Structure 1
Amino acid sequence: MKSVNIASNEVSQGSWRPSTKTRIILILLYIIAWIIFVGLSIEAGSFITNTVFILAKPEVVPHLWQQVDLRDLFQYGHGFFFTMVMIVSIVTVLKAILFYLIISILHNKKLSIEQPFTFIAQRFIVRIASLSLLIGLFSILGAKGAVWLSVQGVKLPDLQALHIGGADVWIFMSLALFVVAYIFKRGIELQNETDLTV
């Protein structure tokens, strides 16, 4: 009981420090976010490079490393090709931006464990939720376009290869994050009321 009182006094006085376990978890999350961000950036760059090769030298595309072959779509129609490339590029770039936001908030240590209900935390959650919603909407758009093109007889890779699969997961995540952001907003209001009464 005494240790609990000491811990609560340290938190209230602002001298509380995260435990070693918490620091290790935050460092691991930071490293994982960096790895995912770099991977998504490479993915976006390679997709754009593949697009340039299709425009310049379509016969080279099958020999590129882990590239999506959209030559049939290019032959079917340049407008359809550029639309699909734009959608896939937007989805990939939005994913990279999402992980960049995670990296930046972990790097700058803007989240406070002593006072988790802050405007910075709430704004961060809203941004992540908005990006997730956009990723989901563009993924749905790309998936619907891919299905329509397949019906027209265009040979396309599957949605996972195009990196636009799982739109429903992104939208569900965004809705859950919007709820969390609302809870944080309410927590900020209650925290401010408590500070005013003290």
Structure 2
Amino acid sequence: MKLTEQWKDKWVTQPGLMLITVVIWSIFIGLCIKAGALLFTSIYSFFKPIVSQDLYEGLNLYGLRNEEIWFYVGLVSLLVAIACLKAYLYYLMIRIFLTINLNHPFSKEVSVLISEIASIAIQTGLLIILTTGSLKWLIKRGFDIPSMGAYTGGAFEYLLLGALIYAIAQVFKRGVEIQSENELTV
């Protein structure tokens, strides 16, 4: 009963935040589908190798799978990890938008979530750099790897995003301290 009233209150007092939350939910669901499909088809490709010709949206790693299975496993693991980190990043955003209260925006929980988003964004950027390096190494060794810009692009953007959000997390942390001091003095 209390949760329903809380949701009604959020929709009435903070419609903009709830609209953003709905958009973020749709992106999160899409990223979960991408990560799940990539994981499922990758596992299925061990039993039926022909599946590796179209792992997800035309990603063809059939040549690598046939030539060297362990490099295939490593590359696919990196791609799945990147997809999962991106989905988790949006999950954390959903949690922030469901937690934040515009009347008292500085809360310890929101501050921790913002710090975690910064950490995940930086990890995603570093993992993309690692994957790009691995791809270049495999191509240099003569393996037939298709262009994977859609899967390995945006490393710099994620690193920059992580640094920016880390700065915002520090501001939020200080805001929590000031807000708690003000509540104690009143």
Q: Which of 66, 88, 99 is 1:75 aligned to? A: 66
Matches of 2:11 and 2:71 in 1, distance apart? 54
1:129 to 2:121 alignment:
no
Where does residue 175 of structure 2 map in the other structure? 187
Where does residue 173 of structure 1 map in the other structure? 161
1:147 to 2:130 alignment:
no
Matches of 2:147 and 2:40 in 1, distance apart? 20
1:156 to 2:145 alignment:
yes
Matches of 2:125 and 2:174 in 1, distance apart? 27
Report how far residue 113 of structure 1 moved.
Answer: 0.5
Structure 1 letter corresponding to 2:141: Q
1:31 to 2:19 alignment:
no
Closer, same or farther: CA 188–59 of 1 in aligned 2, 3 Å: closer
Relative to the length of structure 2, the TM-score reads 0.84
Closer, same or farther: CA 63–110 of 1 in aligned 2, 3 Å: closer
Matches of 1:48 and 1:182 in 2, distance apart? 35
Structure 2 letter corresponding to 1:56: F
Name the larger-Rg structure: 1
Structure 1 letter corresponding to 2:49: P
Closer, same or farther: CA 98–154 of 1 in aligned 2, 3 Å: same
Structure 2 letter corresponding to 1:122: S
Closer, same or farther: CA 71–18 of 1 in aligned 2, 3 Å: closer
Question: Which 4+ runs in 1 deviate beyond 4 A?
Answer: 17-22
Matches of 1:113 and 1:90 in 2, distance apart? 34
For residues 143-195 of structure 1, what are the alpha-carbon distances to aligned partners after superposition, in whole Å with 9 as ceiling and x for unaligned? 1101111111212222323x221111111101111111111111122222333
Relative to the length of structure 1, the TM-score reads 0.80
Q: Which of 31, 35, 42 is 1:44 aligned to? A: 35
Closer, same or farther: CA 146–57 of 1 in aligned 2, 3 Å: same
Matches of 1:29 and 1:90 in 2, distance apart? 26
Say how many residue pairs are matched: 178
* Percent identical: 31
What do you get for the CA RMSD once the two structures are aligned? 2.3
